[in-house]
Structure 1
Amino acid sequence: MIRKVTFGAVAVIFTGIIVYGILELRKGNIQQAEVIQAVPTDAALIINANDLSGFIRDELSRNKIWHELGMVNGIGAFQITLGRLDSMLRIDEEMENLYKGSDISLSLHRSGKSRFEFILYYPLDKAGTEKQILRFIQDKVPSNATLTPRKYDEVRIYDMDFSGNNRKDDFSFAFSRGLLILSPSSILLEASIRQLSQSQSVADEPGFKEVAETAGRNVEGNIYLDYKTIPGFVSHLFNDRYQKEVAEFVHFADWSEMDLNIRHDALLLNGFTHSSAVSDEFLNIVLKHQPQRLDIEAIIPENISAFLALGLDDFPGYKKAYMEHLEIHGHGRAYLRELRSLNEKYKMDRDKLLLPVFDRQVALVLTDIRNFGWDENAYVVCHTKSQSLAAEKLKEWLTIVCEHDGISLSSLIVQQQVMGDVRFTFYQLPVPYLPMKLFGKMFEGINSKYCTFFDNYLIFGNSVQSLSKYIHANQIGNNLSSDLEYHQFSEYLASRSNLYFYLNFPGSTRLMERYLRPDLVTKILEEKDHLFKFQAFAYQITSENDLAYNNIILKYTPDMRDEAQTVWESRLESRVITKPKFVVNHYTGEKEIFVQDARHNVYLLNNSGRILWKQKIDRQILSDIYQIDFYKNGKFQLLFNTSEQLHLLDRNGNYVERYPVKLRSPATNGLALFDYEKSRDYRIFLAAEDKGIYLYDKEGAIVKGWNFGKTEGRVEDPLRHFRIGNKDYIVFADHFTCYILNRRGEIRVSVKKHFPVSKNARFILESNTTGIKPRLALTDSSGRVQFIYFDGSVETVEIEQFTGDHYFEYSDLDGDGRREFIFADKGELKVYKHDGSKRFSYDARAEINHAPVVYQFSHGNKKIGLVSSDNNKIYLVNSDGSLYKGFPLPGSTPFSIGVISRADSKFNLIVGSGDNFLYNYSVQ
């Protein structure tokens, strides 16, 4: 690990530099060496920071990424030190002028078996005497440190030694050839001094000059990577299983130079990599291929953890060059032996048979490894020139293997429905790890026991179930191409590339646990609230003449949260605007989902999330969705209304009979559907803008004998029908009057008290509470509960004052036989016992936009559902006032909870979201 240097020590040196420049008599230019001449040739990384002072002042001080990293332990302390140092160097105008615009360089080196240290380089522009700067530094030396000079190779080195527990802060520095050189390792400092006297330097290494000439000037910094030494550095981040393998990856390329640019929401590194044509590095294999437009993201699910894609124009040529690369460098001997052995065993050339069918791109894809583990979420996806051609060659290969091994080909082929009546063919692979054998060792670890086709893609996976899950995600449009966040991220990407690696930070914890050191994973997870605000990391390589262009992006999304995992997600044409409604498939008895989007499309989806049909209607739906048996034959249709029309659709999305029916007057509420005698002679009630209450039959015709005239005000809540004893009551209200009618539209009960009815009021019947006569409950505009008895009397209960926007529910939450008063007002849920005493409250910290709904999971297990559409959050509150585990979840509509498949006993929560998706969450 790199040792830390205290603020005081660093400040002494840098202040000394400034004084050195100011106090000297500016006797002329120093005979100065280039920084690169002082860098020892075993450097893994070289960084040049251009105009450090301006970078700190203009960029870091207002950069959101820098501020977020400041919340991470260690980085925050470094930021404080850097800020203090910057302030210290600005206390004097001459100091600031000298400090302003300065460049500082740093190189990273191995120091011991598993330790890395740095060397810092600062060019000095003017000559002067050492005595004056040393006198200044000696005045600043802390009391617990000593500054000791010594000679090394004719250069005076100064060692700053701290006593006691501060020995980790020791460092050394020297002046040589116009450079100040500093390092916490005296051995590295001596190596840098020796390097200055050598005729050969890093600048003479293969590829360094070529990439250095491409370095940008007007950027925050330049970073150089040596691919011969960087694997040794990076390998120590990995656990024991992978450390040696990473350390041996030294035949990738020569040098890279990348320009650093910092945006408000991203860190960008762009530049070139050189790979010598005579060195047979891996990158040379890639550079022989034209960069490809990697549209494979259109088939990669959104719940991605990571993927690695190759873009090639000749798969057989790539494989031949790759195997030659392994032969030359002596890597993968066991791999090469196995390939040859299998070809000899089956007396065929597998690559010659299969590789020509692949086209442009192949990717290793890791999806939801957080929830279902590695094997069930590791895939290899290959684009083919033709599905039929690829299937033909696959079967030809399987036939050869089966004949040799005495296996029936039909026993390896499985056909299965994935969604509805769509069937897919799955092939069991008798040879393990086929993708690695076809495409190389970077696909190692993916067993891929099965494969199947989706469009022109061949997909390898570990089981039929995992492949079905992958296909299902694509059938419902749940892929990266349709993901808004990925779309924004991809704006920084090159449109074509030869290699593309993508890592989703919040979804990659299991990936880190698989590859990285356990102690490093622990530290990352401790800081995940800050580190996981970085949405994703991407690395692209694109061939460009004799060089490879690199593009690295680290995207910052401050409001990023670890997404809840869904059973499925279905993408609609626009955002969902209605509560998803469970309806019954009269053929299968299974549940389906009916919903509407903002473009007035209505959809029917099956319980797997597949859209069965879509139909555009005239306006937004006002009512609930009702299933009726129009023909009295056991088959159901869907009934609902907009402000202008009544709609009745069959299960295929087709209108029934004379529907849609134009309303006599535009509706002001959702329809109410009554079937008094359970005879399927339905009655449909609607309030209208002309203040009439209209009664329609199931054909959409006006029913004769309904005698109600006009209301005094506008009716917005659906009418209610209650039967008490042998009497029917039809109940509704405008803003100041409650109406209780009989089936002919005549007043049955005259309410003896008028009150301003709450704008969100609805009538709730209480008819079975011991000791209480049947009554209706609703609230007035101040939140007072008004109980209306069926003799017309009114009882008022005042709990507390609420705003005119409040919502009210009246339900027995704990099963004690007495109902609780439930209010939602602004952002708070408040629940009171039947005697008016407060039971609990819950602050959602967001505006509640819909009425609370009580859901019953089992006897005595009720929960309250809340929706904040403005914040795209839904809540499920337990009957004790605590928030149910896992909530809030993303969602913007009222939601439905129920068991939607007879094969699954778990409850499903279906909700719409503002991002055009319908979500299915599993609720335990």
Structure 2
Amino acid sequence: MNQIKSLLVILVILVLGGAAFLFYRSGFLLNRLEGSEVISPDAVFIYETRDPVGMWNTIVGQPIWEKLQQLPVIAEMESRLIHLDSITGKSGALDKYLKGQQFKLSMHPLGKEDFGFLITVAFNDRAFLDFVQDFQRDKDGQADPVKVRTYSGVNLFELSLDKGERTFTYAIIDNVLMGSYTSFLVEEGIRYAKSTELRSFKQTYTHLFQSESQVGSQGMVRLSGDGLSDFINQLSSEKNNKLVQDLNANNYSATLVPAFLDEGLSISGKLFVNGQEKKVFSGYEDHGNLPFASLISKRAALLYLYLFPDFQFYRRIPNTSFSPDPLLADQLAESVAIQNFVSTLSGNAALVLEEGILEERPDQILLLDTKDAESSFSHLADYNLEWNQEDYSKNYRDYFLGHEIILMDINEFPAHVFDGNFAGFPKCYLAVAEGQLILANSLKTMKNYLEDLYYDNTWGKSVLMSKLLKEGQGKEAPVQIYLNNDRFFPALIRSSQPAWSPVFQKYASVFRSFEFLKIYLKDEGDIEIQIAITPEERSSNGQLMLKESRSILFDKKLIYGPAGLENFNDKSTDFLLQDEDLFIHLVTAEGERVFSERIPEDIITDVFQIDYYKNGKLQLVFATQNLIYALDRYGNLLPGFPIHFEEGRDITYLNVLDYDNNRDYRFFVADAEGNLFVYSGSGELLQEWDPRQSTDGPLAVMPAHHRVPGLGDFMVAMHTNGKLRFFNRRGQDKEGGNIVLGESLSTDYGIEEGREEGLSKIVTVNDAGEVVKVNFKGELTYRNQLLRPDRNTRFDLVNDQIGTDFVWVIREYNELKVLNPDESLLFDTNIISEQLDYRYFSFGPANKIFVVLDRTQDFAYLYNYRGKLINQKPISVSENLWISFSGSRNEYTLVTVYENQLQEYKIPF
């Protein structure tokens, strides 16, 4: 890290040390070099300019300069420049002396986690010697004496700086003066200059030095893709990360000319692959729409956008590093289903990298624009059955938030279809959304993605992101790449090497000023790179403000609710409540009462919605101690309801299941002794569950159904005595389905989705504070004891509102700690109360709210995803609360029950 030093101070030292040598060297300027001959081919880049002072002044004049000054290396650079200007007489003398000389800066790897810079200056005439003489006269007392040693017959000058903490080494080869804080780079430069066998950077990348790649007034960057991938690899703790794989896939290089914009930096030039210009295709057409805008999740860290008029254009940009499976390739080529699928593709596609962008297996979403998404999905489902040899038992099919998901267990299916493009899909999970085909490389990634669509957590709902895509339309670029620094920078900190991570964290405000990296690949190998910069300080406290917007009064105290339910008429939200006289009330979001009906008992379960008549009109289902109710939206009982539970037994839990999303419902019920019952949608008790007797005692949480890729269906029951039981849908024990998680359990469990078949796990914490993970084969895969200072310490797992995310909660006396799923601390706080409950709402990576309900004082405390308290004054909540998020309005809606009031709050995000 210490190698990254001021570039201009290097120039000062070069001049100082080279003065005497220049005057007395015979034949100076007779053997002309331009500087690239001494630069090794491992350089990440070479920046060349004939006006270094002018470029410096341009940088200082940019809005981002105030941010860059916070970096010590930049501040030191400015100080050295001022000093150099003062000793050369000011009045532009420095600019006059340096302008016209061939100045080059190259960056090189130095080994693990470190890089260094080499400066070369190729002198074109003797006018530069005047500057040397002026500097030589004023250098006395400015530095320690220069030490001289010889390397390969060339004098090396070593200057000790900063009281011996740093040493600068420089030498002269013919008309080239070169130097570095790393002596190895200077020695290496000498070897390349004198050798006839070693190939320099210029000899290795001859195409970057063609006549049309000459340096203009703004300078030029000559970039090596191999060097860049090595640089990223050295930064990252994951050596096989996706970015490095993509860069190494083809031998990339580029010549780029920088230019400053009002809000950032633009770099444009030529892109090369294997030494040839990367030509995408001609005839780009702008159809005026923003493709995929409403389908790109805000989780996106890196987006590849392909805007081709036809699928066949992917043949022109093959990924030559991809090695297809010959047998699979032949089968795909001969398959009628695949041919039919390809015929539905338009040519537009978007590859989105989300979590784990700097890891070997990042979460990836592939969006395919189709002429008919349902037909595309059907063709792939047909091929999937063909691949599984018509064995329906091998076909994984599930449903999430109204979307059907199927699994194509085919290694790198997209890459085989798209000529090596879109690698990184060892399995494909398929779904359809908004008329487009969605492919994900894991079930967890697909569910997270569909959840983001459900909550409008997409680029299309963001003014900034929509503007970004709109700007890309005018670029006439068929391939566009967007890197979102809001998502990339946190991943960089997590995945960077120990030597780099503290630097990124310490100067996070500077690095976060870089908002977006935009890359446009155009016809004939043209490339344009834009870096969007925001010099203003960006808020990082995540503070939200809460304001009450509506309050509805009831005649009696409310004892249940609010339960948020979808209004099938307009997709708005209704709320079900119950008062102390046992009347249930359905209320619209505007406060209008739809019905009020009295029932004989308290509601004790969640409220579910079903489509009993299969016509899109939804009904609601819930249970009391002895009855299972099903009502339409106007309070009328459905045929055969209520279902009377067995006499002498009490219902404790109810779950509503729809195995295949065909509205053939099952009601999964547990009684107070832990016995399990399953009723048909019409209320008939199924014989194999009449009941499923238990000897393990009461359940700790609601019984549930899970469908696991490669393993099938599981009926799951977790008991307070620490037993976890797995059954099939007929109530029979599953192999390995009797697991001991601890001596006692009193909290929920979460699902940790695996990226590979059969690796999904049930995760929970027992009362002793031991985190336990079990896969669906019944194998205990993880145990870890959380800190337990006292026997009275309480441990909880709190799921979010959908069950795709969770947090851990540890309570010790008045101290409350909330942990991330990986058990790292999210935040801690102090709350004095005898009884606390918790709620967790997750609407995307940065849209999370954790709620603490103080049951002693009827208060609610809301914390954002950074652990900041949202409501400075506690909200009064006597029962429950409900929270939703709207991406289009960019706000949360909070609905609570207190005494006889239903209250609504808005929280702008």
Equivalent residues in 2 for 1:574-589 (5 A)?
579=549
Kindly provide the amino acid, as one letter, of the partner of residue 627 in structure 1: G
TM-score w.r.t. length of structure 1: 0.54
How far off is 1:365 after superposition?
1.9
Tell me whether 1:427 sits opposite 2:406 in the alignment: yes
Tell me whether 1:246 sits opposite 2:225 in the alignment: no
Q: 1:298 to 1:632 in 2, by over 3 A?
A: closer
Q: 1:893 to 1:382 in 2, by over 3 A?
A: closer
Q: What is the alpha-carbon distance in structure 1 between the residues aligned to residue 206 and residue 223 of structure 2?
A: 13
2:239 is paired with a residue whose SS is: helix
Tell me whether 1:105 sits opposite 2:134 in the alignment: no
Equivalent residues in 2 for 1:168-247 (5 A)?
168-174=166-172, 176-177=174-175, 179-184=176-181, 185-191=185-191, 193-194=193-194, 202=202, 205-210=205-210, 213=212, 217-219=216-218, 221-242=219-240, 246=244
Equivalent residues in 2 for 1:718-757 (5 A)?
none
How far off is 1:387 after superposition?
1.6
Gaps of 5+ in 1: 327-331, 567-575, 595-602, 609-623, 635-854, 867-872, 881-888, 901-906, 914-918, 920-924
Q: What is the alpha-carbon distance in structure 1 between the residues aligned to residue 539 and residue 383 of structure 2?
A: 46
Deviation digits for residues 788-818 of structure 1, max 9, x if unmatched?
xxxxxxxxxxxxxxxxxxxxxxxxxxxxxxx
TM-score w.r.t. length of structure 2: 0.55
How far off is 1:488 after superposition?
4.6
Q: Which residue pairs with 1:506 in the alignment? A: 486
Q: Which residue pairs with 1:295 in the alignment? A: 291
Tell me whether 1:403 sits opposite 2:389 in the alignment: yes
Q: Which residue pairs with 1:537 in the alignment? A: 517
8 A Cα contact 1:226 1:255, kept in partner? yes
Q: What is the alpha-carbon distance in structure 1 between the residues aligned to residue 127 and residue 4 of structure 2?
A: 30
8 A Cα contact 1:231 1:246, kept in partner? yes
Equivalent residues in 2 for 1:474-489 (5 A)?
474=453, 477-489=456-468
Kindly provide the amino acid, as one letter, of the partner of residue 534 in structure 2: Y
Q: Which residue pairs with 1:361 in the alignment? A: 348
1:64 is paired with a residue whose SS is: coil
Higher relative contact order (CA 8 A, sep 6+): 2
Deviation digits for residues 860-879 of structure 1, max 9, x if unmatched?
2647999xxxxxx9951156
Tell me whether 1:606 sits opposite 2:567 in the alignment: no
8 A Cα contact 2:364 2:440, kept in partner? yes
Q: What is the alpha-carbon distance in structure 2 between the residues aligned to residue 131 and residue 61 of structure 1?
A: 27
Q: Which residue pairs with 1:668 in the alignment? A: none
8 A Cα contact 1:138 1:147, kept in partner? no
Q: What is the alpha-carbon distance in structure 1 between the residues aligned to residue 151 and residue 435 of structure 2?
A: 67
8 A Cα contact 1:426 1:450, kept in partner? yes
How far off is 1:198 after superposition?
11
Q: Which residue pairs with 1:10 in the alignment? A: 10
Kindly provide the amino acid, as one letter, of the partner of residue 579 in structure 1: S
Q: What is the alpha-carbon distance in structure 1 between the residues aligned to residue 197 and residue 407 of structure 2?
A: 64
Gaps of 5+ in 2: 555-560, 576-587, 599-851, 876-884
Q: 1:861 to 1:290 in 2, by over 3 A?
A: same
Q: Which residue pairs with 1:730 in the alignment? A: none
2:383 is paired with a residue whose SS is: helix
Deviation digits for residues 422-461 of structure 1, max 9, x if unmatched?
x433323343554454447664444555211123311123
8 A Cα contact 2:519 2:529, kept in partner? yes
What percent identity do the matched residue pairs reach?
A: 13
How far off is 1:223 after superposition?
0.8
Q: 1:252 to 1:556 in 2, by over 3 A?
A: farther
Q: 1:91 to 1:252 in 2, by over 3 A?
A: same
8 A Cα contact 2:19 2:136, kept in partner? no
Kindly provide the amino acid, as one letter, of the partner of residue 91 in structure 1: K
Deviation digits for residues 546-565 of structure 1, max 9, x if unmatched?
x2323232433524345859
Q: 1:553 to 1:369 in 2, by over 3 A?
A: same
How far off is 1:172 after superposition?
1.0
How far off is 1:56 after superposition?
3.1
Deviation digits for residues 626-678 of structure 1, max 9, x if unmatched?
735599999xxxxxxxxxxxxxxxxxxxxxxxxxxxxxxxxxxxxxxxxxxxx
Q: What is the alpha-carbon distance in structure 2 between the residues aligned to residue 442 and residue 90 of structure 1?
A: 58
Q: 1:561 to 1:381 in 2, by over 3 A?
A: farther
Q: 1:258 to 1:462 in 2, by over 3 A?
A: closer
How far off is 1:381 after superposition?
1.5
Deviation digits for residues 554-603 of structure 1, max 9, x if unmatched?
4335243458599xxxxxxxxx999367899xxx9744799xxxxxxxx9
Q: What is the alpha-carbon distance in structure 2 between the residues aligned to residue 583 and residue 469 of structure 1?
A: 37
Deviation digits for residues 172-228 of structure 1, max 9, x if unmatched?
132633x43333433134146438999998279442244x61567353x32111335
| Larger-gyration structure (1/2) | 1
Q: Which residue pairs with 2:536 in the alignment? A: 558
Deviation digits for residues 450-496 of structure 1, max 9, x if unmatched?
21112331112367775465345446654323422224545764534
Q: 1:359 to 1:166 in 2, by over 3 A?
A: farther
Tell me whether 1:876 sits opposite 2:871 in the alignment: yes
How far off is 1:268 after superposition?
1.7
8 A Cα contact 1:581 1:896, kept in partner? no
8 A Cα contact 1:227 1:250, kept in partner? yes
Q: 1:583 to 1:20 in 2, by over 3 A?
A: farther
2:80 is paired with a residue whose SS is: helix
Equivalent residues in 2 for 1:377-776 (5 A)?
378-404=364-390, 406-408=391-393, 412-414=396-398, 418=401, 423-431=402-410, 433-439=412-418, 443-447=422-426, 449-461=428-440, 467=446, 470-471=449-450, 473-474=452-453, 477-490=456-469, 493=472, 495-509=475-489, 511-512=491-492, 516-542=496-522, 544-545=523-524, 547-556=525-534, 558-562=536-540, 564=542, 579=549, 590-591=563-564, 605-606=572-573, 627=591
How far off is 1:47 after superposition?
0.3
Query: Which of 248, 254, 272 lines up with 1:256 in the alignment?
Result: 254
Deviation digits for residues 493-514 of structure 1, max 9, x if unmatched?
4534343332222223553367
8 A Cα contact 1:46 1:107, kept in partner? yes
Q: Which residue pairs with 2:263 in the alignment? A: 265
Deviation digits for residues 661-701 of structure 1, max 9, x if unmatched?
xxxxxxxxxxxxxxxxxxxxxxxxxxxxxxxxxxxxxxxxx
Q: What is the alpha-carbon distance in structure 2 between the residues aligned to residue 375 and residue 188 of structure 1?
A: 37
Q: 1:344 to 1:606 in 2, by over 3 A?
A: same
Q: Which residue pairs with 1:885 in the alignment? A: none
1:71 is paired with a residue whose SS is: coil
Question: Between Structure 1 and Structure 2, how many residues are aligned?
Answer: 614
8 A Cα contact 2:49 2:217, kept in partner? no
How far off is 1:159 after superposition?
0.8
8 A Cα contact 1:303 1:367, kept in partner? yes
